[in-house]
Amino acid sequence: MRYLWVCSALFATLTLNVLSATASSYGLNTSLKTSYSFFQDTTKVRVVSEKDSLRKDSLDKIKQKSIYDKLSGGVQKNTGDLSLFPAISLQQNLKGNYAGLYVQEPSGEPGSIQNMFLRGAPMPLLSKKDVYSSQPLVVLDGIPLIGEHPFAFDIQQYDFNRIGPATNLLTGIDINNIESIEVLKDPASIAVYGPRGVNGVIVLKSKAPDGVSRSISFNSYIGMVQKPTVNTINGKYENEFRQRFYDIYTTNGRYSDDEEYPVYLSDSLNNVYSGKSDWTDLYYKNALIYGINLGLTGGTDRASFRFSIGNTKSQGVADGTGLDRYSAMFNINMKPVKWLLFSAMINGNRLNRDRNRTLRDRFAQLNYFPDLSAPLAPNKDYYGSYLTEYDKGFDDNKTNSIQGFAKLLATLGKFKISSTFNVDYNEGYRDVFYARTLLQGTSYASNYYGFNQRLMIDNKATYDLNLNTVHDFHFEVGQSISWDLYKYNNAYAYKGANDYIKINLLDSDPKLPNGQDNPNYLVPKAFPRELTYRFLDKTQENLLSFYGKADYSFSDKYFLSGTLRLDGSSNAQPTSRWFYSPAIAAAWNLKNDFLKDFKSIDDLVIRASVGRMGRTFTYDNYAQGPQYTATVGWTGNLTVPGYNAIGVLTRPYSFGWVGYDVPWSYSDQLNIGADVAMLKNRLHASLDFYTKAEKNQLIAIPAYAEYGYKQSIESGLDMTNTGVDLTISAQVIANSKFRWNSALNLNHNSNKLKALPRGLDEIVIGNRFLKVGQPVDQYWLLENDGIYTANNQVPVVNGQPLKYNGQALKAGDPMWKDQNGDNIIDEKDKVLKGHSMPTLSGGFDNAFSYGNWTLGTNVYFNLGRKLINQEMANRFDFVNREGNTDLSSVKEITFWEKRGDYSKYPLYNPWSTVIPYRVDQDLFLENASFLKLRSVSLGYDLKDVLKRNNIKIKRIFVYGSVNNVFVVTPYTGQDPELVSYDGVDTGYGQPIPRTYTLGVKMEL
């Protein structure tokens, strides 16, 4: 990566020199002179020559955009407003601001992964791999950004976090460098992006120089994240909680040695567990956050540049988590001759992440469990001693990312030809060492290095034609090829020589001094060879695309567009390597056609688009049928590339059988919309009805067990998402003194499974049940009707009591509903209930201004969404979770925090063999709808002060904001947003903190 940074610096230096030389050759002054006309009078437009200037290119783009706007429902947001929220990731900036865009924030830990879904999830979310395949495409200045590939999950037992730094790559977007954000959802707008845009597209355009303005911008904020108020408990409270069950279900309300009561709770005089519960002093803390961004823009109408640098520090309120971002961005436009434009951009980021210290994540990383009989103590002194032992090691997480493009655009009359080379590269490092005092005498070290790389060449030619001033044609043909490469090296080892040697030292010299081969080359020195494990893997995909596009406009009344695209993917099988994607869009401007006399209507357009888009396979495993693999596994080690030091190849028995002639998956999409502007453009509304039919998707079906396979991966899963998007914005009050602008966005979405492979009507995969005709985001649960307080309450049929999987139900057991009346409670009695995705979501913004004062509020809401409160199920299922050597027995320090409403749950017999507090019942299904006041900001523009004191500064805007102010919800758990992709609240998500910030925005 160091070479990339050196090359980037050299490129920036060379470009600046070329810029200066080019400007000087035209007799241009390249000094940064400041213009104040814009802030003095915003109605004035600076007049420049448009003959061969950069300004003319900007105006041409605006003209082309007007046709596109009639065909698409894309919505843009003012990034200046979004930047008032102290977000560290792009997802946080976008949450609640765009109709149809649902953002999941499973944890408030800075830098952690967040998920986005545009108009619903396009497939059942059965694993993190499906989540990855469901993400919309993010495009930065024409660069389709690459994501963190989930193929590394193949060597993991748990999919909590991907190996490596697991840092959200979209934290590399500094909103202060972004000019506009547009969310594209309908076929008319996403067709040109091909298979990568099938889930929708988020288009980011950076602040590029226009060849006119010269300025220095300074944006900064500083603030505090406020630690939450929590109720702590200790061993005494836990004893009292459990005593209620003993009083009911044990003799004389006492426990005996045979019942293996936990030692850490058995002594009420033990102050370690039954004394002070002040661990929160070390776990939750108020923390500092800040951000700073400096931008320089200069040049002339023939050569201009923008350069920005920034640093953002975002700290969490829990467990010492945080993220540091160091960023730099450089844009340049040069026009050496009037018909040729050269543009380039580089965006580089360094991300340093302080991760959580949770036991679950540590043990998942280790693949090893020590004695779990005693949890962390709630006493601050003892918890502090644990942190001291933890700090003897390290957990370093670093990510470097760079995006860039170089583009040549030739304008030859009505022809335009462009060629662009795009690069997106990111690399991650994670170095871990845990001292032996944390693992009962076993130390652990791990080293990870991985990278994701996308190289892309994009060529495009356009031709604009106007006939008789009423017929406007725009023709476009394009070709692109991209090369994606994902790779990782991962190694870990146990039982190091001592706690002072903290890395997996290897003899890295392949030759001895005498020139002979070194027999100890790459042999571990600090860790035993037999306890050292190495894994490396890579996957790649090439995508070759051709497309043609034609737009037609008649008298600014009727609009028609057609796109035909051909894509070839290396991840597709040879029998179906290519896929054709057609899309057609039409629009009718009713205002210009027959509503010209209606003064109250300023614009009225109805539009429709329909298209078919291919969906590339995420993995190259599907490209050639069943593939041999270097995988030999046993319990506790999923992947070992050999057996007894002998390299072997096996069929992919654990991955699954992949057949031949697997076709492309694809999405048939239809969008019908209308846009209206009324009351002298004070009221704008956009309404869209859509349907997305996902066809031929792959799913793993349990099959071929007789041949050793775990499953068969087959195509044939079809599902649909249908819904409505609504966006309304209005100038409620607009006068010289007071203004009130309001904006509301809504999305209603529903999904349905239409077909399964082999004509199946239903299928069970893990804890999920998919049934044709039903939504795919529902939970499969037993219905709970209470508790049997006496044995005679249990139904009896033909002398046989109601049973659960062969076990007769008794007093103290749940009253589960026998759905089919066969006197047996089993999987056949589970029903589909609730939705893990919201059925109605959106945001409501209000902006008030009085004189130089501004006040803004943002409300975010999800309705019709439910979740499983697994944290509460674990709390009550203490009998089955106590003393095991697996993740179910892990108790974090937050175990000593009172969460939820205990009074709403019946007191079942926790020793019952039916496991009455099992999580797959609607007892733990809760309404997770919420309304959150996400931000309140107050600002003041100092323009009058500047003018009165004749200060030559364009603008100084100071503001303060409070974020995550409050939430209204019926959910009894921690926060209804802290939920994983499958709709389960595990309790591991860190709080999304309330933050207070003070900031300033300056233009010099």
Can you tell me the distance from the alpha carbon of 768 to that of 779, in angstroms, rounded to the nearest whole number? 7
How many residues in total does the chain contain?
Answer: 1004
CATH of domain 2-17+19-24+31-41+43-224+286-644+667-771: 2.40.170
Distances (CA, A) of 49 to 90, 334, 412, 652: 37, 16, 18, 65
Where is average pLDDT lowest: 508-512, 655-659, 792-796? 508-512
Residue pair 973/871 in contact (Cβ under 8 Å)? The answer is: yes
> Which letter does DSSP use for residue 773 in this model?
T
Instruction: Kindly tell me the burial class for residue 222, based on how many C-beta atoms sit within 10 Å of its own C-beta (0-12, 13-18, 19 or more).
Output: middle
Of 165, 203, 193, 168, whose CA–CA distance to 91 is shortest? Answer: 168
Three-state SS at 250: coil
> Which letter does DSSP use for residue 629 in this model?
B
pLDDT at 45: 32
Can you tell me the distance from the alpha carbon of 839 to that of 818, in angstroms, rounded to the nearest whole number? 29
Interval 672-684: pLDDT, tens: 999 999 999 899 9
Interval 412-449: pLDDT, tens: 999 999 999 999 999 999 999 999 988 888 899 999 99
Where is average pLDDT lowest: 382-386, 627-631, 950-954? 627-631
Name the residue with higher pLDDT: 37 or 740. Answer: 740
Residue pair 218/83 in contact (Cβ under 8 Å)? The answer is: no
Interval 449-504: pLDDT, tens: 999 999 999 999 999 999 998 999 999 999 999 999 999 999 999 988 888 877 77
Which residues lie below 8 Å from residue 327, measured CB to CB, with a gap of 6+? 172, 174, 177, 308, 309, 310, 311, 312, 347, 348, 349, 350
Angle at 947 between CA 943 and CA 948, to 5 degrees: 115
Residue pair 890/360 in contact (Cβ under 8 Å)? The answer is: yes
Can you tell me the distance from the alpha carbon of 752 to that of 796, in angstroms, rounded to the nearest whole number? 38
Question: pLDDT category, 735, cuts 50, 70, 90?
Answer: confident
Across-strand partners of 155? none
Instruction: Give residue for tokens 């009225």.
Output: 604
Can you tell me the distance from the alpha carbon of 851 to that of 849, in angstroms, rounded to the nearest whole number? 6
Confidence check: pLDDT of 3 > 50: no
Confidence check: pLDDT of 348 > 90: yes
pLDDT, the chain, mean: 88
| Rg, Å, the chain Cα set | 31
pLDDT at 255: 63
> Which letter does DSSP use for residue 153 in this model?
G
Residue pair 173/426 in contact (Cβ under 8 Å)? The answer is: no
Of 820, 793, 944, 930, whose CA–CA distance to 865 is shortest? Answer: 930
Which residues lie below 8 Å from residue 836, measured CB to CB, with a gap of 6+? 125, 777, 778, 779, 865, 866, 867, 979, 982, 983
Distances (CA, A) of 216 to 9, 87, 875, 954: 21, 23, 56, 10
Tokens read off for 152: 């590394």
Interval 351-385: pLDDT, tens: 999 999 999 999 998 888 888 888 999 999 999 99
The amino acid sitting at 121 is A
Confidence check: pLDDT of 849 > 60: yes
Name the residue with higher pLDDT: 968 or 654. Answer: 968
pLDDT at 706: 87
Can you tell me the distance from the alpha carbon of 551 to that of 475, in angstroms, rounded to the nearest whole number? 6
Where is average pLDDT lowest: 29-38, 863-872, 945-954, 960-969? 29-38
pLDDT at 912: 94
Can you tell me the distance from the alpha carbon of 862 to that of 841, in angstroms, rounded to the nearest whole number? 4
Angle at 428 between CA 424 and CA 429, to 5 degrees: 160
Mean pLDDT on 628-639: 59
Which residues lie below 8 Å from residue 499, measured CB to CB, with a gap of 6+? 392, 393, 435, 436, 437, 443
The amino acid sitting at 263 is V
pLDDT at 144: 97
Distances (CA, A) of 336 to 49, 70, 302, 412, 642: 15, 35, 7, 15, 60
> Which letter does DSSP use for residue 228 in this model?
P
Domains of the chain: which residue ranges? 2-17+19-24+31-41+43-224+286-644+667-771, 783-828
Residue pair 605/675 in contact (Cβ under 8 Å)? The answer is: yes
Can you tell me the distance from the alpha carbon of 712 to that of 125, in angstroms, rounded to the nearest whole number? 18
Confidence check: pLDDT of 14 > 80: no
Instruction: Give residue for tokens 């003012």.
Output: 78
pTM of the model: 0.91
